[in-house]
Amino acid sequence: MRRLVLLVLMGLLTSCTVLETKQEQPERTLSTAELIKQARTLQQKEQWSEALVLLRKKGGTEPRDEQIESLEAEIRRDWTMQKRNSEDWILVFETRSLKQKLPHLERLAKIDSENLITRSRLLFWTKLLESKVASLISCGSMHLHLDPALAEACTMLSEEIKPTKESAHLLSKIKKTRAEEKSVQQSKEAVRAKRNLSQQRDRLLAQAKTLRDEEDYPESIHSLQRLLKLIPNDSEAITLLKEVTAVRDQRVEKLIKFGDALYRDEQIDQAVSVWESAEKLDEGRADIASRIDRAMKVLERLREIKKEQ
């Protein structure tokens, strides 16, 4: 039994020795680039506190890295502005709610004019609402370029509660900013539309040329007509349309004449096939349609004669 206890103690001592001699793995030091990348990722996820903690680990060493300091200041500014933005939206909604409730309290005070509590509440709410004006104007100034919608909400609400020179000036600035933004947006849309039109024009023109080379004249003409609807004065499309139409017309005239010759030789079926080919190239031609109609009547008459025999 004593030997067993000794063996156990020796095993424990050996284990302790192994644990003591085992070296701890040192934590890998992040490079400045890696640290900035991780901090940026946390910032984008709106985890500003975590980003600052991460940067402080590096920033605690001397000398201070300028990139780290700059990013830390940027994150602090971003975090502060985001908090201010949320706080000011809360200010808007709380003030708007108070303003909406006030008419009901005014009516109650009118109905129950002897009730001192109601009159006191009305006076308190009125003063409280007026006290929001300065904060609302500050909100409008702060977010004029950062969050125009919030700036407008604050300023409009301030103007509704108590019109001032400051709120009127801010509203004028907001209208000017909105007009400038609208102008910029319209310019961007115009550039985008012009670029899209140019791309569509190039695509239709290339398509028309390919179809012309494949001798699909009707579809080539159709593509060019679509292009000219978009850009009526496109000189290249106008010239190409004339060329393709001329080639198509020459082909049609040759087919008509060939069909006429076959018809005179009493090869009526073949003549109809040739004229139908011509009609596909230039749909709506009355002279071609009349030839086909006449030939079909002759063929029908020949079939009747054949049956009678």
Q: List the domain boundaries for the chain.
A: 47-55+64-163, 189-308
85, 143 in Cβ contact below 8 A? yes
What CATH fold (topology level) applies to the domain 189-308? 1.25.40
Place of tokens 């706080």: 87
245, 221 in Cβ contact below 8 A? yes
Each residue's pLDDT, cut to its tens digit, for the chain (309 residues) gives 555 444 545 555 555 444 444 455 555 667 778 888 888 888 888 888 888 888 887 655 555 678 888 888 888 888 989 999 999 999 999 999 999 999 999 999 999 888 899 899 999 999 999 999 999 999 999 998 889 999 999 999 999 999 999 999 999 998 888 888 889 999 999 999 889 999 999 999 999 999 999 999 999 999 999 999 999 999 999 999 999 999 999 999 999 999 999 988 888 889 999 999 998 988 888 888 888 888 888 888 878 777 776
The DSSP result for 203-238, as a single string, is: HHHHHHHHHHHTT-HHHHHHHHHHHHHH-TT-HHHH
Residue 87 CA to its chain's centroid (Å) = 29
Separation between Cα atoms, residue 32 and residue 52, nearest integer Å = 14
What is the widest separation between alpha-carbon atoms in the chain? Answer: 134
